[in-house]
């Protein structure tokens, strides 16, 4: 168990809908990262937050947004969902940048 | 921009034999290099990292990796494979001193260890 908790584990929703994925980092970790894993694009970095502030942005679509709250948990919001958004979404956390990140078990999103 | 290449989609090895999973990287400065393993329906588990220092890095479950700056490689190795090592392995890189953790992953190599 990495100590990173993601909810829900599975999510099935229809095209056009909006969902929120939640992540609780390891105790004491200030950095939270979101990744998308799909068959065609592999593991892609989406976004990083550090102590509530956005620090780095990757290939995140405009339909997606994230935030980190004062208690350090993070949420990834996905809107106007398309079939291609079906993927495994991982959250990871670390103490500070430039150290290894610990991953949650992921949320499997299926858009139908 | 940083990148990682894992040239083999799958590596097959018999139990008890040594294994190597290959990784090459490209960064403009000094790299941080990582290996992660993913078991079915599980998240990524950290195996080992290279930041600086000895080129041979030892990690979890008997795995080690050798950093080779001239060949820009960071191959994962284990002297004696176990069936339970069968999983998907990812190499990742980030750049030293960037102040943030944007891990760039390779496409993954599936390791299959046969009894």
pLDDT tens-digit series, residues B4-53:
999 999 999 999 999 999 999 998 888 889 999 999 878 899 999 998 88
pLDDT category of residue B99 using cuts at 50, 70 and 90: low
Contacting residues of A for B97, CB less than 8 Å apart: 98
For residue B103 the two structure tokens come to 């891990």
* Residue in A with minimal Cα distance to B99: A97
Terminal-to-terminal C-alpha distance of chain A:
31
CA A74 to CA A32: how far, in whole Å? 7
Instruction: Out of B90, B97, B99, name the one closest to residue A43 (CB).
Output: B90
A81, β-bridge pairs: none
CA B17 to CA A18: how far, in whole Å? 49
Chain segment B2-18, per-residue pLDDT in tens: 899 999 999 999 999 99
Contacting residues of B for A48, CB less than 8 Å apart: 100-102
Per residue in A66-82, is it b (16+ CB within 10 Å) or e — as a string?
Answer: bebeeebebbbebeebe
């Amino acid at each position: 168990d990495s100590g990173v908790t993601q909810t829900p584990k599975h999510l099935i929703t229809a095209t056009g809908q909006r969902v929120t994925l939640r992540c609780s980092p390891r105790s004491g970790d200030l950095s939270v990262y979101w990744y998308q894993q799909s068959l065609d694009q592999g593991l892609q970095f989406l976004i990083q937050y550090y102590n509530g502030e956005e620090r780095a942005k990757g290939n995140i679509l405009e339909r997606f947004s994230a935030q980190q709250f004062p208690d350090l948990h993070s949420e990834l919001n996905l809107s106007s969902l398309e079939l291609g958004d079906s993927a495994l979404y991982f959250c990871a956390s670390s103490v500070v940048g430039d150290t290894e990140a610990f991953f949650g078990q992921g949320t499997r999103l299926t858009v139908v | 921009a940083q990148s990682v290449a894992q040239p083999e989609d799958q590596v097959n090895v018999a139990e008890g034999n040594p294994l190597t999973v290959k990784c090459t990287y490209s960064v403009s400065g000094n790299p941080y290099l990582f290996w992660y393993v993913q078991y079915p329906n599980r998240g990524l588990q950290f195996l080992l990292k290279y930041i600086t220092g000895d080129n041979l890095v030892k990690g979890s479950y008997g795995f080690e990796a050798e950093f080779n700056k001239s060949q820009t490689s960071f191959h994962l190795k284990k002297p004696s494979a176990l069936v339970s090592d069968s999983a998907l392995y990812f190499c990742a890189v980030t750049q030293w001193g960037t102040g943030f953790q944007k891990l760039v992953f390779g496409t993954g190599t599936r390791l299959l260890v046969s009894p």
